[in-house]
Amino acid sequence: MKKIYRLNEASKIVTQQIITKFDSTVEIAICLGIDTKIPNQFIRGTVNFPYGTGKNIRVLALIPKEREKEIKNSGADFIGFNKYINKIKNGWLKFDVIVTIPSVMIQLGELGKILGPRGLMPNPKTGTVTQNPNRSIREIKSGKIEFKMDKYGIIHTAIGKVSFGFEKIKKNILALINVLNKLKPQNYKGVFIKKIYISSTMGPSLSVNTQDL
């Protein structure tokens, strides 16, 4: 039987295992007791990690020229509109997130077949289609990430780097669990968070005691 660790212990182990020569990513897999066949129980949301993920998220701001000035200092890696739409059509995908405004979404429809399957299509529910792109970009750059469960009811995401140390990793985990609990369907019966595993790059997977959360 696989050993189940308290959150503190698992966070310490995963950040003290030096398996790679680089700063390994720490990842979490959360198995939900959700029936994935019920559409209104699909779990998707965003979380502001207090310590970020340790990864530089490349943000493409698809913003019309008349609004470029307001996001000039937002931290976006790429800012523009027609130029980048054409680049995407030609296969350019060197970004992690697109932020845009509601009035131009209809013009992005033609990119759906390219962006949709890759999870890159902006969405109002995740704050990437917004009237305040400046704020959204700043939040993403400071540690806000999107997550969603897969077809097996599992949420999988990076939660930091080994170099963060166990306290920061633990607090990032707690931030994610807090958001998940708020997303629990109102009429859901049963165990919502069934299992949690954390691991570092190339490291073993550690089972975390869900009662700690």
The DSSP string of 134-161 is: HHHHHHHHTTEEEEEB-TTSEEEEEEEE
Longest dimension (CA), the chain: 61
Pairing of strands 206-208, 193-200: antiparallel
Q: Which residue has the tokens 């998940």?
A: 180
- Residue 42's pLDDT is 87
Domains, the chain: 4-54+144-212 (3.30.190.20), 59-141 (3.40.50.790)
141: amino acid identity, one letter? K
Highest mean pLDDT among 28-32, 143-147, 185-189: 28-32
Beta strands, E only, 111-213: 144-148, 154-161, 193-200, 206-208
Token couple for 124: 């109002």
Tell me the pLDDT tens digit for each residue of 146-165: 898 998 999 999 999 999 99
How much is the average pLDDT of 163-171?
95
pLDDT at 1 over 70: no
Residue listed under structure tokens 């990437």: 128
pLDDT of residue 19: 77
C-alpha 121/C-alpha 98 separation (Å) is 7
The average confidence (pLDDT) of the chain is: 92
What is the pLDDT at residue 40? Answer: 78
pLDDT digits (tens, 9 = 90+) for 77-131: 999 999 999 999 999 999 999 999 999 999 999 999 999 999 899 999 889 999 9
- Helix (H) / strand (E) containing 100: strand 97-100
By DSSP bridging, strand 154-161 and strand 25-32 are antiparallel
Average pLDDT over residues 186-206: 91
